[in-house]
Chains A and B, each alone.
Chain A
C-alpha cells in the first residue's frame, strides 16, 4: 500500500485547518480592537 497519498492528505488537512483557525482568530481580534478604538471617547 502506498501511504504517501494519506500522509499528504493528513498534512494538508492539518495545515489548512490550523492556518484557517489562526487567521480567523487574528482577523476577528484585529477587527474587534479596531472597532473598540473607533468608539473611544476623545480625551
Chain B
C-alpha cells in the first residue's frame, strides 16, 4: 500500500488531536502518575517528562485552535463555532458522546491509579513500621 501525502496528514492529525486529548483530559500532575511507575519516579527523567507534557499541553491548545487559519490551504475550515456547526447532525451528536465516554474512561484510569498510589503508600508505611517494631 502506497502512503500518500493526504494519508500522512490524516495520520498526523490523529496523533495531534489524540495527544492533545490525552494531555488535557488527564490532569497534568496525574499524567506523571499514570505514565511513570512509582519505582521510576526517582529517575531524573521523570520530572523532565512531567514538565515536557505540561509545556506541550499548554502550547498545543492555541496551535490547534489557529491551525485552521495557518494551514487553511490544507486544513478544512472551523467545523464547530459559537454561531453554529457545519458538521452533519448524524455525526455531530456522537462527538460530545464520544468525548464524554473517553473522559469517563480516563477518569476511571485516574481513580484506579489513585487507589494504587494510596495502597503503595500504605505498603511503604507498614513496612517502615514493621522495621522499627
Chain A residues engaging chain B, CB cutoff 8 angstroms? 1, 5-6, 10, 13-14, 18, 21-22, 25-26, 28-29, 31-33, 35-36, 39-41
Task: Please report whether the interface of chain B is mostly helix, strand, loop or mixed according to DSSP.
Answer: helix
Provide the B92-133 mask, 1 if CB < 8 A to any CB of A, else 0. Answer: 000000000010010011001101110110110011001000
Chain B residues within an 8 Å CB radius of A28: 37, 112-113, 116
A19–chain B nearest beta-carbon distance, Å: 10
Chain B residues engaging chain A, CB cutoff 8 angstroms? 1, 4, 6-7, 10-11, 14, 18, 34, 37, 102, 105, 108-109, 112-113, 115-117, 119-120, 122-123, 126-127, 130
B1 touches A5 (CB 8 A): yes
A32 touches B4 (CB 8 A): no
B115 touches A33 (CB 8 A): yes
Between A13, A21, A31, A33, the greatest number of chain B beta carbons within 10 A of the residue's beta carbon is seen for A21
Chain B residues within an 8 Å CB radius of A6: 7, 10-11
Q: Which single residue of chain B is at the shortest CB-CB distance from A39?
A: B126
B123 touches A35 (CB 8 A): yes
